[in-house]
Amino acid sequence: MKSSFKWLIAGLALVSLQASAADFKLGFVNIERVYREAAPAIAIQKKLDKEFGDRRAELKKMEKRAKELEGLLAKSSLSIDDRKRYEREYAGLDRDYQAKARELSEDFNQRRNEEFASVQERANRVLRQIADREQYDLILQDVVYVNPKYDLTGKVLKELEK
């Protein structure tokens, strides 16, 4: 008798669990897509490109000069003095390039994180509004796979356009 009572309780719990699972509403948002496609994110990217454009151009000039020096060093007709001078210039250029590239990368990433924090905050606020309005129980970000029927990214992008 005790055993059948346990099975009855387990069965009722399973039915209850299935009923509540049917009411469960799940959503997903691809935040990287929001960062790529949302109007505020695009504006931020343009702003950052403008802000860091001069430094990127300087690095491109350094790359061009390094290629010129490589071409000169590849010639066998160089005098020993010219070869040494070009090698020193190339080594100094490489050292400067590495330092400036690292500094640019760090500065760009810091500024990008600062700027995109506001986009993420706004996207999260929009997600909460959608969740409240449409009665979602759970909204996820950063998943390995999700069925497209749960994807709310398009809705978030539309809301961010307003």
Q: The CATH number of the domain where 87 resides is what?
A: 3.30.910.20
Average pLDDT over residues 73-89: 88
In a domain, 3, yes or no: no
In a domain, 154, yes or no: yes
In a domain, 19, yes or no: no
Distance of CA 76 to the CA centre of its chain: 47
- The residue segments making up the domain with residue 33 are 25-161
How far is residue 16's CA from residue 4's CA, in Å, rounded to a whole number? 18
- The torsion defined by the Cα of 33, 36, 41 and 44, in degrees rounded to 10, comes to 150
pTM for the whole structure: 0.67
Q: How many domains does the chain have?
A: 1
In a domain, 9, yes or no: no
pLDDT in tens, 19-42: 455 678 889 999 889 889 999 999
